[in-house]
Structure 1
Amino acid sequence: MTAPTGTPQQERPANPWLVLAILCLGFFMILLDTTVVNIAIPDMSTSLDASLDQILWIINAYVLVYAVLLITAGRLGDIFGPKRLFILGLVVFTAASAACGLASTPEQLIVFRVIQGVGGALLTPQTLSTITVIFPADKRGVAFGVWGSVAGIATVAGPTLGGYLVTDFGWEWIFFVNVPVGIVTVVLALVAMPDLRLNRRHRLDWAGTGLATLGLFLLVYGLIEGEPHDWGRVWGPITIVEVIGAGVLVLVVFLYHQYVSRAGEPLIPFTIFRDRNFAVMSWLSAAIAFSMLGLFLPLVIYLQSVLGLSALQAGFAVAPLSLLSMVIAPFAGRVSDRAAGKWVLVAGLTLWCAGNATVVALAEVGTGQWGLLPGLLIAGAGLGMVFAPLQTIAMRNVAPQQAGAASGLINTARQLGGVIGSAAVGALLQAQLADKLTSAARANAADLPPDVRQPFVDAVAGATGGSLHIGAGQSGAALPADVPEQYRQTLTEVATRTFHEGFTDAMKVTLLLPLIVLAVAAVSCLLVRNRPTETAPPTDPLRAEEPAQA
């Protein structure tokens, strides 16, 4: 007998906790890859001879594709079954990880990172939809809690595990480590995961997905490639400003398309945003991700290429932030449940902003490994007070039948905030490096023989135009080849000092951008309504338990 549309067809597994462990293993691998790559930036730059703008593409290619495909991948799981999409995502991600480790040029690595993003997007939404079906209602909260804790563990483990692999084995192993884990997870999923048939009918918004992808690509491309092309022409007569403008225009068209498609199944159901709390929390999710990636991008370069820490030491240096946030998060959740979560959120964002500001103030050329610890602890305390009240406030007034779409939108907003934050901070960092490195070169050139000064300044200025290298032990630019041997050691010392001073000054100015975004986000919390409003009961009891597409 055929089940009615919308009714899950499945046999409840004998051990749903085993299935949860498999889902979390795959999800952990995906999340780990978003944090582990940052710590390897200096080593990848050195090994692949990659410039700063190429490094930015290596980071953003994955997150960009991952973000724009999340909702569509969730709907594909509803149509074809979450087990199939979960395994397909694992296979794609694992194969792409092996290819990333074998990449010999920055261009190859960027392409394989795009494929990784596709695999990650296919896998992630299937985890929540499977948990929703296989666990009874009275056990579902615990299961979701275990699933959610994986994100915190991945955040802590990413820099430390990545630092260990990079220091002892090389940057390639941050990708190779995914291969055995992926293979084991695929085998376990084939054996233990139930073949669910959710039987939900969806209209796939391929036009919306295409418009969002094109618009975001043009925007991110313009931000990353702006400084290397001197904000001028990039494709024939087309300029960087025109590329960014075209990206914004395409995104406007995307929003219009979503609005006129609201009677069907657009990627963005605008009715959810009638709830002010949800709209504000979506913006906050994007702002927090903007600030997190915006902070870590310059910081890991600073720790390794300026302070001279190994990748492992750099991982340990930033680990206290994540550890403290994990300790505080459960207590912040309880307080926000009993009192007004709005003010817990305001306090958390204020501390997160203050901690980042302290990091900026403490960062100097001679700062030690633990010199930034006070700022990182303050930031970690703030971050731990943010996530629980944010999710609670966001979902407080959302009707049950819209819970899946709402969770998907929150997660997508977070990923898009990270993409734009990384690109925007990277663009500002490149622009500041062009100014600060050249100024430092002119100041330090006085320590060089007269006939070497101008070639040195020209080499540094030329590197900031698109070939700047930020690997550990590098000076940012290729030094003049015709320098007499007796001057070379002095030239190397001056170049290294120039890079350290210029990068530190550029980083301190650059990090003002995520600080401003965080300050605006903290003020935005004042728009949150404290009292919950009544929500209409779900008209379809089956859709009331529709899993989150996130």
Structure 2
Amino acid sequence: MAIPQDSQQDHVRPWPALWALVVGFFMILVDSTIVSVATPAILSDLKTDVGNVIWVTSAYLLAYAVPLLVTGRLGDRIGPKKVYLTGLALFTLASVWCGLTTSIGMLIVARVFQGLGASMMTPQTMAVITRIFPPDQRGRAMSLWGATAGVATLVGPILGGVLVDGLGWQWIFFINAPVGVVGFVLAMRLVPDLPTHEHKFDILGVVLSSIGLFCLVFGIQEGQKYDWGKISGPISVWSLIIAGLVVIAIFVGWQSRNRGEPLLPLGLFKDRNFSLANTAITSVGFAITAMTFPLMLYAQAVRGLSPTKSALLLVPMAVITGALSPFVGRLTDRAHPRYLAGFGLACCSVALFWLSQVIEPDVPIWKLLLPIALLGVANGFMWAPIGSTATRNLPLHQAGAGAGVYNTTRQIGAVLGSAGIAVLMESRLAHNLPAAPGGGSAGEGAFSGKLPQFLHQGFSDSMAQALILPAAVLLVGLLAALLFAKPVRAQDKPSDDLESLRG
């Protein structure tokens, strides 16, 4: 994508700044999915079990999702550039730590620090877009951000497979070191120091939101591992989820009564488009995360493809997403977001329904690639219109808070997608594979690549039926997008931050 010259005025260079931020943003999103391919290698090398290896991903996602409300607000208070650079440094150092670990326990701890670094970086990317781009250019900027998010989730498994096969699992973490150094230097040089806004930290809000989100996300994410039952003593998965919901309800009540400066300004949700965009991005996070599990398991267990070759099935999706992003970005600045986001969400739902109908043990690969290509069209049209609609009317002093909320809902959607698809896959395997007691042995065979021939049809049917769940959830997002209000053109002027910087 060429960098438009018309936006590089005076001393403010929004596009180079955004490209610098995208380097780090891409890296942290890749790390959300890259470990899944390395799971067998980590199991063998660190001599551990599946339950512990699951925590390598779980710890990262928890540490990433839970602090987002706080880190978004932190950027408003001390400056998004400072928070971003601190997060990037922490993420890069933790990545090297991950690669050097020789025990599963230390790897999990290092992944927690990685997640904390990621949580500091993500809200700042959206906040900077909101604050340095005039609204009439924000769509193109958000298209780059959205394309990065869409492509990164697909690149993770591909890159992970290549690195694990060629250099070893440690290199899925070591690769972050040079990328992190380059990203740090670029951000230091190209991202402007934006004016800060005086904020008082809502300490009680921080405590309540952290406890509530931790209990909710942990319960959902680990539910499948504990068979939705007891974790330890009187503590069960459902008690954690319920406790999380109760604490979050108390948090929302406190935010509504806080006459000072709440952590979550509920006034943000008075903006119809902000509320609807959060609903839409939750469904997208759910679907994009959920769809890869049944597709990758089918490719490896039934078709016998290696992890790298399985991930290559997603190449058409990644290529089309990247190719469409500049085009959609230009449209986002001019067209009603209802039509663009609605088209993308509809394409995504149709593609997943289509994929569920063609998955068979002996289906030609090209028949799988057609709906996967349509998923690329969907990704190209979803991310930018939804993201720009969410942030377009935010007050500048609340840009970080709004970005934190938006990214929190996206991450919670991803966790729900991961947990929901696991439950449904297990249910369908138990139903379609009666020869395997409870479906358990078939599931284990899928992970080891030793699925007997006579189970291929039942396993394929199970994965196909599981894909209907994310397809259906996307319909909720589609409804939200169709209710988007037309942006107010009177607000299409350069931001105060941009003007003060040009001063």
Contact (CA 8 Å) 1:90, 1:119: kept in 2 or not?
yes
Contact (CA 8 Å) 2:223, 2:419: kept in 1 or not?
no
Contact (CA 8 Å) 1:227, 1:431: kept in 2 or not?
no
Compute the TM-score of the two structures, normalised by the length of structure 2.
0.82
2:344 to 345, 348, 355: 348
1:83-482 pair list within 5 angstroms: 83-104=81-102, 106-127=104-125, 150-155=148-153, 157-186=155-184, 192=189, 196=193, 198-261=195-258, 263-335=259-331, 337-367=333-363, 369-399=365-395, 402-433=398-429, 436-437=432-433, 439-441=434-436, 461=440, 468=444, 470-473=446-449, 475=450
Identity of aligned residues (%): 39
Query: Aligned partner of 1:249: which letter?
Result: V
Instruction: Give the equivalent residue in structure 1 for 2:4.
Output: none
Instruction: Give the equivalent residue in structure 1 for 2:481.
Output: 525
Q: Indicate how the Cα distance of structure 1 residues 429 and 251 shifts in structure 2: closer, same or farther if over 3 A, else same.
A: farther
TM-superposed CA distance for 1:499, in Å, is 6.5
Contact (CA 8 Å) 1:80, 1:197: kept in 2 or not?
no
Q: Deviations over 1:368-427 (max 9, x none)?
A: 554421111122222222223323433455455554433442233222211222233234
Q: Indicate how the Cα distance of structure 1 residues 505 and 204 shifts in structure 2: closer, same or farther if over 3 A, else same.
A: farther
Rounded Cα–Cα distance in structure 1 between residues aligned with 2:455 and 2:42: 18
Q: Indicate how the Cα distance of structure 1 residues 215 and 144 shifts in structure 2: closer, same or farther if over 3 A, else same.
A: closer
Rounded Cα–Cα distance in structure 1 between residues aligned with 2:499 and 2:194: 15
Q: Indicate how the Cα distance of structure 1 residues 269 and 321 shifts in structure 2: closer, same or farther if over 3 A, else same.
A: same
Rounded Cα–Cα distance in structure 1 between residues aligned with 2:147 and 2:339: 23
List alignment gaps of at least 5 residues for structure 2: 1-9
Q: Indicate how the Cα distance of structure 1 residues 250 and 503 shifts in structure 2: closer, same or farther if over 3 A, else same.
A: farther
1:31 to 29, 32, 37: 29
Q: Indicate how the Cα distance of structure 1 residues 520 and 74 shifts in structure 2: closer, same or farther if over 3 A, else same.
A: closer
- The more displaced of 173-182 and 386-395 is 386-395
TM-superposed CA distance for 1:295, in Å, is 0.8
Q: Indicate how the Cα distance of structure 1 residues 20 and 501 shifts in structure 2: closer, same or farther if over 3 A, else same.
A: same
Rounded Cα–Cα distance in structure 2 between residues aligned with 1:189 and 1:391: 22
TM-superposed CA distance for 1:357, in Å, is 1.3
Q: Deviations over 1:282-314 (max 9, x none)?
A: 100111011100111332233234322223212
Q: Indicate how the Cα distance of structure 1 residues 145 and 430 shifts in structure 2: closer, same or farther if over 3 A, else same.
A: closer
Contact (CA 8 Å) 2:130, 2:396: kept in 1 or not?
no
Rounded Cα–Cα distance in structure 1 between residues aligned with 2:402 and 2:192: 26
The 3-state SS of whatever aligns with 1:372 is: helix
Instruction: Give the equivalent residue in structure 2 for 1:8.
Output: none
Q: Deviations over 1:180-229 (max 9, x none)?
A: 32244446666x46894744322223433333333233233333444444
The 3-state SS of whatever aligns with 1:170 is: coil
The 3-state SS of whatever aligns with 1:59 is: helix
TM-superposed CA distance for 1:235, in Å, is 1.6
Contact (CA 8 Å) 2:428, 2:462: kept in 1 or not?
yes
Rounded Cα–Cα distance in structure 1 between residues aligned with 2:146 and 2:403: 13
Aligned residues: 491
Q: Indicate how the Cα distance of structure 1 residues 118 and 386 shifts in structure 2: closer, same or farther if over 3 A, else same.
A: same
Instruction: Give the equivalent residue in structure 2 for 1:480.
Output: none
Q: Indicate how the Cα distance of structure 1 residues 94 and 500 shifts in structure 2: closer, same or farther if over 3 A, else same.
A: farther
Q: Deviations over 1:528-547 (max 9, x none)?
A: 33x44588999xx8579899
Q: Indicate how the Cα distance of structure 1 residues 182 and 515 shifts in structure 2: closer, same or farther if over 3 A, else same.
A: same
Query: Aligned partner of 2:435: which letter?
Result: A
Compute the TM-score of the two structures, normalised by the length of structure 1.
0.75
Contact (CA 8 Å) 1:132, 1:545: kept in 2 or not?
no
Rounded Cα–Cα distance in structure 2 between residues aligned with 1:135 and 1:534: 15
Q: Indicate how the Cα distance of structure 1 residues 434 and 225 shifts in structure 2: closer, same or farther if over 3 A, else same.
A: farther
TM-superposed CA distance for 1:325, in Å, is 2.3
Query: Aligned partner of 2:464: which letter?
Result: K
Q: Deviations over 1:497-543 (max 9, x none)?
A: 477556434323332321221122223334333x44588999xx857
The 3-state SS of whatever aligns with 1:268 is: coil
RMSD of aligned C-alpha atoms?
Answer: 3.9
Query: Aligned partner of 1:350: which letter?
Result: A
